[in-house]
Amino acid sequence: MKIISYSIRDDEMPALKAWKSQHPDVEVQVESENLTPETASKAQGADAAVTFQQAPYTKEVLEELQKLGVNKLSLRNVGIDNIDLPVAEKLGFQITNVPVYSPNAIAEHAAWLMGRLLRRVPEYDAKIKQRDLRWAPEIGREMRMQTVGVIGTGHIGRVLINILQGFGAKVVCYDIFQNPEIKAADLYVDSLDELYQQSDIITLHVPSVKENIHMINADSIAKMKDSVIIINVARGDLIDTDDLLKALDNGQVAAAGLDVYEKEVGIFNKDWAGQPVPDANLEDLFRRQNVIVTPHTAFYTETAVENMVQKSFDASLQLIKGETPDTLVKY
């Protein structure tokens, strides 16, 4: 049995070595390169591939793999929005992902972004660099005084709700798939409009499906409270960045915490030291003291990385053995 693994980083190696030592009968081919039409040929002789969401898995890539008889693909992450799913289905691919590797990693990151923005940390950081140690005018806001609108009550949204309630915040939620516990706690509002009207902070925890793309735009922002804070640790294309920048300019949006950006592919997780990134809107966001951008690092914890490796390789092996992993993506 042989698994090829693409986009392997150094920080994944300890977990991968541990997995290999538990499965001495499985040969693991480790590649640091992404899976692309050019690198797909490396899968020659493999029974399955383990990959990471670092590049689009287009018709071309999937066809290349298929030619080699490799149609079992296990992602080490949750998002599958980079895969051409209709083509994958037509070519008979079996795909698994890791839907739950550490909801806490991402929920905590969202909470830290909120906390840092509420207490004006980026502005104080900038002032301290100038040795300006005055208090005013960056007065903070307390979490317990905020109503936080959580859009999406899956695993991540639910961990975040607990964290926020621990701080004493009022939480209101919206999801088209209602979770029984959240429903029993009476946290759901009936519509997004209602959530927009009530929330001082809005945090996104929904996937990038076509209904959600650019859900935060000029129209939805107009329905929000003035001086709302927007947090996005989900997918960049949930926000229309042009509209967000305008709302930051006119103060409708007081601050934003963004771990994802709609054009992040090819920009995040690269060293741009000494030069601007090739995206004017992203540079504009970087320059603002009421915006925190993190380069899609919400997931990036020791616990999460270990789970991502272990769970994806377990699923890959199950596919090879003809078993049905419970993380099999349903078309």
Residues involved in catalysis:
235, 264, 296
Q: Contact between 79 and ligand COI (CB under 6 A)? A: yes
Nearer to ligand COI, 102 or 318 (CB): 102
Nearer to ligand COI, 51 or 146 (CB): 51
Task: By CB under 6 A, tell whether 78 contacts ligand COI.
Answer: yes
Regarding 318 and contact with ligand COI (CB under 6 A), the answer is no
Is 296 an interacting residue with respect to ligand COI (CB under 6 A)? yes
299 in contact with ligand COI (CB under 6 A): yes
CB 311 to ligand COI: min, Å:
11
* Stretch of residues binding ligand COI (CB under 6 A), selected from 73-81, 110-118, 219-227, 323-331: 73-81
By CB under 6 A, tell whether 232 contacts ligand COI: no
Instruction: Using alpha carbons only, give the angle 251, 256, 259 rounded to the nearest 5 degrees.
Output: 160
Q: Minimum distance between the CB of residue 295 and ligand COI, rounded to whole angstroms?
A: 10
Which range, of 74-82, 164-172, 220-228, 320-328, touches ligand COI by CB under 6 A? Answer: 74-82
Contact between 57 and ligand COI per CB under 6 A:
no
CB 67 to ligand COI: min, Å: 26
Which residue's CB is nearer to ligand COI, number 188 or number 299?
Answer: 299
Q: How many residues bind ligand COI (CB under 6 A)?
A: 6
Looking at 71-79, 166-174, 213-221, 313-321, which segment touches ligand COI (CB under 6 A)? Answer: 71-79
Site residues (vs ligand COI, CB under 6 A)? 53, 77-79, 296, 299
